[in-house]
Structure 1
């Protein structure tokens, strides 16, 4: 009950901050989705995806993000793109959105773990860090077997020795939380 009041209060605050003739968030996100879908420029796609990922930081946008298809764009990029800039922004968006149980369920239903775990070896530390964070947040009874596989364990062990501290620390958290390898690193 209290969470609902907080969301409603936040929506009221957003309405107060939106100029009278201003575009509301849902409309703005919808315009960004249209731009992403209709542009042929890779640079424009990257810019739009970066903007969409920025909106994923704020939980008040989660409903709008689902409603206008932003989450679907992130999932599409992870499944179909190889461009690191696009993957960076898509995984950053997913990383922020997967904290919400409805978004997590949607991600698992429409993307699954395979495209995500495939990115663990993408050679971009930012993307790898995003993926490690996503997998930590998506870990549950449903995903347990896949996220505790020997193959994933070896990749995570390798990442725990990364020179990149962010990747190394996230991998150690994964090993500790998922594989229960306390103090064995």
Structure 2
């Protein structure tokens, strides 16, 4: 459920931690737990869950969480990669967040996730690219090799309906003979 200021006040209570501070605490823990993989996975998942709610978008930008998600994509741990691209996916419906990801050279990182062995990572990457693709960066996203991969996912309905549906939605919006 999406949050607003009134709902946030009700949930936090008089002595609760304000959302910005709570998110800052998660970021600080993530950065300080650099050797504990299980803790990093839990914290990345938690941050990615906050990224779906528009109420948190400004906080995520203020705390550089989008950049943290991009860093997660470069980790060797597939779970952290999954949660990083999940956070990107969840937040990129907002054009300001998508612009941050593009400015931080995140598009190649998102494209790399299309070849992940983890299904969720691939799904998140397709959706993130759906939202990231616009006039200013479509040349970077709609490269023949990227379109080819997405077309193969679209044709793989018998293997994975979710890949197929998401990929087809991407193709329908961004790739056509008329464009």
TM-score (norm 2): 0.90
Larger deviation, residues 37-46 vs 167-176: 167-176
SS of alignment partner, residue 79 of structure 2: helix
Q: Is the contact made by 2:30 and 2:39 (CA closer than 8 Å) also made in structure 1?
A: yes
Distance, in Å, in 2 between the alignment partners of 1:105 and 1:159 is 26
Which residue in 1 is equivalent to 2:55? Answer: 60
- Describe the superposition over 1:131-179 as per-residue Cα deviations: whole angstroms up to 9, x where unpaired: 0000010111111212222111211122123311111111111222221
Q: How does 1:29-68 map to 2 (within 5 A)?
A: 29-39=23-33, 40-68=35-63
Of the three residues 158, 167, 175, the one matched with 2:163 is 167
SS of alignment partner, residue 22 of structure 1: coil
Max Rg structure: 1
Distance, in Å, in 2 between the alignment partners of 1:16 and 1:153 is 46
Which residue in 2 is equivalent to 1:3? Answer: none
Give 5+ residue unaligned stretches, structure 1: 1-6
Q: Is the contact made by 1:29 and 1:52 (CA closer than 8 Å) also made in structure 2?
A: yes
SS of alignment partner, residue 177 of structure 1: helix
SS of alignment partner, residue 82 of structure 1: coil
Which residue in 2 is equivalent to 1:82? Answer: 76
Q: Is the contact made by 2:70 and 2:106 (CA closer than 8 Å) also made in structure 1?
A: no
CA RMSD of aligned residues (A): 1.9
Displaced runs of 4+ in structure 1, greater than 4 A? Answer: none
1:70 counterpart = 2:65: yes
- Report how far residue 36 of structure 1 moved: 0.3
Q: Is the contact made by 2:123 and 2:163 (CA closer than 8 Å) also made in structure 1?
A: yes
Which residue in 2 is equivalent to 1:148? Answer: 142
Q: Is the contact made by 1:52 and 1:93 (CA closer than 8 Å) also made in structure 2?
A: yes
Larger deviation, residues 136-145 vs 146-155: 146-155
Q: How does 1:104-143 map to 2 (within 5 A)?
A: 104-143=98-137
- Report how far residue 181 of structure 1 moved: 6.2
Distance, in Å, in 2 between the alignment partners of 1:181 and 1:82 is 38
SS of alignment partner, residue 4 of structure 2: helix
